[in-house]
Copies of this chain bind each other. A is one copy, B any other.
């Protein structure tokens, strides 16, 4: 963005808004309203150049009118301000149901015909524009990826301000006009997103101008904010840290020109105030967080539609929410009302002979990239620069032999992320509720700070007016900010608790849908992937127990389209580094990385880790006991850090107790590899699968999450019935690591029992070992109950299973190390 040399925000030359300007504002508004109504209702006769007939009306009337005239009104006024002040502005339409309006404005702008040449600026173009709207094979009824200028899908409500702030961060010359619907304003995410202003830096970031649009009604109810005293509403906005300005009008047949005047004057005032704040900030004259202005716009719902239909109020009521005239194709009466409504906008003045918008209609609009529908910030892929990624190998931990050393994987990752922050000082941010330090990414805070514009005290650490780390205790904000940041061409990471990332399940849905659709839209350029780092995972909630456990976010993500989602389960510091380097290079994905922050054995040296990550799945030859050229007796598979540890511990028992057993250890770091080739681009081919898992070999699979997902992913594999999965079962009220895996039957002893029970012939021979394993579990549990910590034979366990031939450097480990640190567990 900085390469676009954005203009400064500046005061307007003083002077009144001339009547001619108001007329032109009104012309744009009427044209946008006309085009919006036309999209909802008309199949043909787009400019009413003949009387309207029933067949001109669509057979199925879909879409939403209620919010649209307000969105169009604001768009017209912003156009004037952009033109007069050379602003660089994007428009976030919180009420996504105003899809017809956003499309209409983009068409008037000229952008629509530029990106969709099949919809030209002509009568035929208008016909096509109308027909395609919410029509089979056409465009959605909401603001959507298909809508030029939009970064905000109009499905689920609540994220307008979060997206707007995400867009504004690190875009110092950008004005983000964010229209918040009064319905949307009732959602939780929106209600807290007003506080985003405590995280905006007035020098380095852009400006968000919230416009709370009170049209008073939802589907069938009034809105709360329209039904509290205005003094209370102003208190609320002041309490959120804003200076509110009210524009109210359009009621009781008020002439719209009068409302245009009030809006234009208020917008001038507000933009001057913004210019003053910006200037003071740049000059270093701001002593405290500024109280940014915001606008409350109160207009009738469905403004300009018929006052009454069938004897009931339409304009200004919830009945205008959707399609106010349901029977325009079926009854002459409704048809006549529709025609009068359409003609009330005087289309003959607004379009020229050819059917293109007349010059007077669009004379207030900015040009080129300054058009809100053409602003490159709303097509972030155009602006995206690849991250400068320092060599993660520089942060590799030394692994003299598997399991000989111990590191906290996220702490190691933090070192590299600090380098990433340093190398990308304006295009990369880390978002999280409150956990950068808790997740042991503290190294990042040695090179940057947590951005915070509320009050600071001398005792605060790492809080500063500007910084790359954004922490607010709302997963919704973190996700919304990051989405806005990515959609405008930047990069980022969201770190959170695995269990609580479900808070944003539905936001993930919406973003994944956006990515899916944009892949089919050529003019939408790829954006950076949405990267999750879930490092307070379900197996190590020693501080929190059952309430903080649920690994189902992975399941949720895997339900999304295969070409959009990726899931990685790195099991040590080096694989985590390699995984994250990969994720930060990708575009248009949702990458979910689940990785521990607790001290964990290092299993692979960096070269091996990179190779393993590249394959996504592979055999730990150093751990197994295969005989070359022969099928193994059992495949011990694992995915995730704790499952990998328990699997290797089980293998070490098996190696000691059953030296003749041919064990293969397979680790899965890229979960999508388990699927078939035709199900996921990362899917393993059938021969590759057979080469790894053998044919008809029993597979004991220890998995990080709900066991069913492994069955689902491997469903089409021939030997699927032979896969026995151990995973999370929701039995986790405990406070020690080994007790947790025992409660869920995924512990080393249980895995050995699984092998005995499932490999033909072992049950008969190894009854005593099976009993010993059960006794070991009992002893471990009793010890834990008595001492409050895990039994030493578990907490002090180290890998020493490999024979000299296979891994000549084993047994050089650090001896009595513990993976069950005494004060560990996740805090919050």
Apart from A134-B543, A136-B736, A513-B730, what 8 extra A-B contacts exist at CB < 8 Å? A60-B823, A62-B543, A155-B544, A232-B239, A499-B506, A502-B556, A505-B556, A550-B559
Binds B, one of A435-443, A686-694, A806-814: A435-443
Mark A residues whose CB is within 8 Å of B: 43, 58-64, 96-97, 134-138, 140-142, 144, 153-158, 183-184, 186-193, 195, 198, 218-224, 227-229, 232-241, 313, 317, 321-323, 326, 329, 434-438, 450, 452, 454-457, 459-460, 463, 471-474, 476-477, 499-500, 502-503, 505-506, 509-510, 513, 516-517, 542-548, 550, 552, 555-556, 559-561, 706, 708, 711-712, 715, 730, 733-736, 739, 781, 784-785, 787-789, 822-825, 827-828
Task: Decide: A500 and B505 in contact? CB cutoff 8 A.
Answer: no
Task: Decide: B473 and A543 in contact? CB cutoff 8 A.
Answer: no
Question: Closest chain B residue to A561 by CB distance?
Answer: B730
Kindly name the residue among A473, A711, A730, A733 whose own CB sees the greatest number of chain B CB atoms within 10 A. Answer: A473
Task: Decide: A59 and B789 in contact? CB cutoff 8 A.
Answer: yes
CA distance A186 to B435 in the complex (A): 15
Which residues from B are CB-within-8-Å of A552? 509, 556, 559
Which residues from B are CB-within-8-Å of A61? 822-823
Question: Closest chain B residue to A330 by CB distance?
Answer: B822
Task: Decide: B62 and A735 in contact? CB cutoff 8 A.
Answer: yes
- Identify A60's interface contact among B187, B229, B547, B822, CB under 8 A: B822
A contacts with B: majority SS: loop
Which residues from B are CB-within-8-Å of A218? 434, 473
- Min Cβ gap A351→B in Å is 24
Which residues from B are CB-within-8-Å of A513? 546-547, 730
Question: Closest chain B residue to A312 by CB distance?
Answer: B459
Task: Decide: B220 and A434 in contact? CB cutoff 8 A.
Answer: yes
Task: Decide: B544 and A141 in contact? CB cutoff 8 A.
Answer: yes
CA distance A545 to B781 in the complex (A): 53
* Number of chain copies forming the complex: 2
Task: Decide: B543 and A219 in contact? CB cutoff 8 A.
Answer: no
Task: Decide: B224 and A739 in contact? CB cutoff 8 A.
Answer: no
CA distance A543 to B220 in the complex (A): 16
- A-B complex: 8 closest residue pairs judged by Cβ atoms: A236-B239, A155-B547, A188-B188, A191-B192, A235-B239, A502-B506, A227-B454, A191-B191
Task: Decide: A506 and B500 in contact? CB cutoff 8 A.
Answer: yes
Task: Decide: B545 and A140 in contact? CB cutoff 8 A.
Answer: yes
Known interface pairs A43-B788, A188-B191, A542-B62; A219-B438 also in contact (CB < 8 Å): yes
Question: Closest chain B residue to A97 by CB distance?
Answer: B828
Task: Decide: B823 and A735 in contact? CB cutoff 8 A.
Answer: no
- Min Cβ gap A69→B in Å is 18
Known interface pairs A60-B823, A434-B219; A735-B134 also in contact (CB < 8 Å): yes
Question: Closest chain B residue to A156 by CB distance?
Answer: B500
